[in-house]
Structure 1
Amino acid sequence: MGYGQAPPPNQYPPPSHSPYDQSRGYQQPPPMQNQYPPQGYPPQQGAYGAPPPQQGAYGAPPPQQGYGAPPPGQYPPPQQGYGQYPPPQQQGYGAPPPGQYPPPQQGYGAPPPGQYPPQQQPYGAPPPGQYPPQQQPYGAPPPGQYGAPPPGQYGAPMGPPTQPSLGYGPNPIAPMDAMKGFGTNEKELIRILSKLDPIQANTVRTQYNQRFMKDLIQELEKETSGYFEKGLVSIARGPLGSDVYTLNGAMKGLGTKEVMLNDVLIGRSNADMNAIKQEYQRVFRKSLESDLRGDLSAGTEDLFVLIVAAQRHEDSVPVNPQQAKQWAEELQKSLGSMIGKNALAVCQLLVTKNDAELRAIIQEFQNMYKKSLAKVIGDKFSGHMEDALVLLLARAQNRAVSDADQLENTMAGVGTKDDLLVQRVIRAHWNRQHMQQVRAEFQKRYRKDLIKRIEGETRGDYEKLMVACCQ
């Protein structure tokens, strides 16, 4: 059955008619309150989102996935969280030991609670009382539903969509005087810009442009230079603007910087991906897909066209254990031999699954075939295709560990990959708690503090900005 094609009629038992069963994952936490913006607020355009609350099945990683929304009470509605942190996950399938990660405190680099008017509660939860209490063990579907693929498996994702991430939706202006204390010397630029969250970055850029009748980004480009300039400009553009300029730069000129395409596009929610496509079209007057087709070829072109189609299962799609086993079997058949592998089938199966489903597939593949799915993919593929698929699995398993590894890769060996270091530090810094979890994983894996590692690889104002973004 090809991707984008619904299963034949009557092939599977009908799914449960309970809306609760259709929107619950494997080992889900209880429903959260106030899912949606206040009644009457204009609908969101081009919802952009970051990794939302993860399903509790198959060893869901600690609450560091995504980019993190500000805590309640920080911004006026409709504030889109840069991927609201999920509540503590149930243990299962290789979940991290209790106490390994600190409980979430702040959103993606958000200022102290109480600074802004009340915020909507975490995304993805139904209104109170809408669904009955959980009856099935571990949030599993009711008897008889095993083996049936979730509705929308090969087409439009089922369930409530992931909400836009902070910085990927409409950008309201924070009620603050962003220019107060704003200086133009390097020290002041580092002090102010390194601590902004996406809403504040938009506010600073807007107020500066209006008050001084100048473009902040152009002024930064004129007054600073080198990787210090690249870092400041990336912050001033905000996460969405930085993403689209990174993508365009990766495909401009001779050759393609594949690793930058991977950094921006792999493992994004449908809402994030749609936001990126819309902003890319607005800024560069051409579609992201057409540029990708022009720069990529063969299997990698197919892979990235699938990725930017934004057809991942939403995180509200439950994990079905028997379906995960079936997917693992399909992967084993599609991987086949070096000559006989079906690359398109592998890509289509993996890029359309949400993170919880990917963790389930990884675990089932290990249980059934006694080998790592990532290692098998590394053996069967090479180059850009291998890197993209392995990164997709790594980010689904544990985003903080994956980010720590990526940061070390920018500094390992001879010379520092400064362009990547700037982008990866700033992408992680938008969520302060996530950055602290990345630092903790970096310390654990490499026996060295991330800040000390960066200080050994950078100099001057560039070094000070990177360090400030990690603190």
Structure 2
Amino acid sequence: MSYGPPQGQGQPQWGGYPPAGQGYGSPYPQQGPPQHVGYPPHQGGYPPQQGGYSAPPQHFGGPPPPAGYGGPPVLPPGQHPVGGPPPQHGGFPPQQYGPPPLPSPGYDPRAQAHGDASADADALRAAMKGFGTDEKALIRILSKPDPLQISLLRNTYNQRHRRDLERDIKSETSGYFRDALVALVRGPLLDDVHNVHEAIKGLGTKESMLNDVLLGRSNADMRAIKQAYQQTFQRSLEADVKGDLSMKTETLFSMVMAATRNEESTPVILAELDRDCSDLHRAMGGQIGTDQITVCSILSNRSDGQIRAINQHWQQKYHGSLEKTIDSEFSGHMKDALLLIVRRASDRIMSDAVQLEDAMAGLGTKDVLLVQRVVRVHWDRAHLDQVKRAYTHRYKKDLIQRVKGEIHNNKHYEGLMVACLS
């Protein structure tokens, strides 16, 4: 049976599976470049070129980027945006310019894929029914759906076979192969929720996992995560995270989880930009110590576009690197969190490439992080392609071959990771 988009909705689908008219449809029309799951789209990109590719174009200091790139316009000193005053500083609520953006694909429970997923649901049941498990079928079927399609497939399986797909996978598979399959079946929102819970439960905090999920998120996605966490665990995300962190780091994450960042439509006003850089410089250049609250307040409340502009303006004004200053003034979890905020805003594509390598570098593989980072990046195929090019550019090797060489001793785990990255 063919299962395509609903009548009157022949627009492109999120993700690359299956082709239009042969799979699950998408309920929303595509406008502009594809959205990146879990964060605003990055400006520019890494188009394939002979011999490599160039870094993403920078727009601060020149004309605004073309429409659809997601970057804020840059206004000269003294000029306020039409329709409202300049953005607020510190912990004050940001001004809104235009309607707030929708959550990323998979983060809005109201969004549903249309079509018929019964054939894939039946194939999944057949792969796990009876003696033995057809791991190749599980890999083939579960590695390709986009965020809305995986929700339709999971619901179809549960209703059609009166079983629970996640529970069946847990009972039929094991190890990191099982963990990756479960992450795929949950979809990006529920997987984020479970990863945050895993990061803070028990003794100690799994800081990298917490950073991966919560930092650099859009307001809409952060609100979705908080609501889904409450519904899943009947507890407040803010309260659970607060009880697991030290005082200053707790303050940073409280600001992050407040979901009051300036939206990406908020203009970059040069006078405000210069003031942010001056405030950051005073906060990190004093003789008596670092004003951590000022640094956290600015970086947690500015949009990605504004942080990109701050990063570049800092370089021009102080002839040094903002990242190096943060690295020298902070330590531990606070330093790692602030650096990730800046890196994700400045170049999300390269940041994701570096994080994938970090999960494999050194003695032993950080498999928990590798699974989460591969699954997270695979939800947006356009973004994934850019990450693979960025990885090759930085490390002079192919990402898929790197992953295969790192986990070659587990063929099903390796096969699933490769399928997610292909």
Q: Who is 2:79 aligned against?
A: 145
Note if 1:75 corresponds to 2:9.
Answer: no
| 8 Å contact from structure 1 (residues 334, 341) kept in 2 | yes
Give the superposition deviation at 1:441: 0.8
| 8 Å contact from structure 1 (residues 269, 310) kept in 2 | yes
Note if 1:372 corresponds to 2:308.
Answer: no
Note if 1:190 corresponds to 2:128.
Answer: no
Q: Who is 2:8 aligned against?
A: none
Within a 5 Å distance, the mapping from 1:241-280 to structure 2 comes to 241-280=190-229
1:86-106 alpha-carbon deviations (Å, 9 max, x no partner): 99968xxxx989974899xxx
Whole-Å separation in 2 of the counterparts to 1:97 and 1:237: 31
| 8 Å contact from structure 2 (residues 216, 345) kept in 1 | yes
| 8 Å contact from structure 1 (residues 366, 373) kept in 2 | yes
Which SS does the other structure have where 2:289 is aligned?
Answer: coil
> Cα–Cα, structure 1 residues 102 and 436, in superposed 2: closer, same or farther, change >3 Å?
farther
Whole-Å separation in 1 of the counterparts to 2:203 and 2:77: 56
TM-score when normalising by structure 1: 0.72
1:206-258 alpha-carbon deviations (Å, 9 max, x no partner): 00000111110001100110000000000000000000000000011111101
Whole-Å separation in 2 of the counterparts to 1:145 and 1:425: 43
Whole-Å separation in 2 of the counterparts to 1:341 and 1:292: 24
Q: Who is 1:158 aligned against?
A: 96
Which SS does the other structure have where 2:104 is aligned?
Answer: coil
> In proportion to residue count, which structure has more helix?
2
Which SS does the other structure have where 1:295 is aligned?
Answer: coil
Q: Who is 1:442 aligned against?
A: 391
Give the superposition deviation at 1:457: 1.1
1:270-310 alpha-carbon deviations (Å, 9 max, x no partner): 00000000000000000000001110011100000000000
Whole-Å separation in 2 of the counterparts to 1:386 and 1:251: 19
1:108-150 alpha-carbon deviations (Å, 9 max, x no partner): xxxxxxxxxxxxx97989xxxxxxxxxxxx9444774269972
Whole-Å separation in 1 of the counterparts to 2:229 and 2:283: 34
Instruction: Identify which of 233, 239, 242 aligns with 1:284.
Output: 233
Q: Which runs of 5+ in 2 are unaligned?
A: 1-12, 57-66, 128-133
Q: Who is 1:469 aligned against?
A: 420
1:376-424 alpha-carbon deviations (Å, 9 max, x no partner): 0000000100000000111111111001100110111110000000000
Whole-Å separation in 1 of the counterparts to 2:306 and 2:353: 23
Within a 5 Å distance, the mapping from 1:223-372 to structure 2 comes to 223-337=172-286, 339-372=288-321
* One-letter amino acid matched to 1:176: G
1:71-92 alpha-carbon deviations (Å, 9 max, x no partner): 9x952248997549999968xx
| 8 Å contact from structure 1 (residues 149, 323) kept in 2 | no
Q: Who is 2:334 aligned against?
A: 385
Give the superposition deviation at 1:360: 0.8
| 8 Å contact from structure 2 (residues 42, 70) kept in 1 | no
Whole-Å separation in 2 of the counterparts to 1:87 and 1:381: 28
> Cα–Cα, structure 1 residues 283 and 370, in superposed 2: closer, same or farther, change >3 Å?
same
Instruction: Identify which of 354, 361, 373 aligns with 1:412.
Output: 361
Paired-residue identity, % = 49
1:14-60 alpha-carbon deviations (Å, 9 max, x no partner): xxxxxxxxxxxxxxxxxxxxxxxxxxxxxxxxxxxxxxxxxxxxxxx
> Cα–Cα, structure 1 residues 368 and 214, in superposed 2: closer, same or farther, change >3 Å?
same
Size of the aligned set, in residue pairs, is: 370
Q: Who is 2:60 aligned against?
A: none
TM-score when normalising by structure 2: 0.81
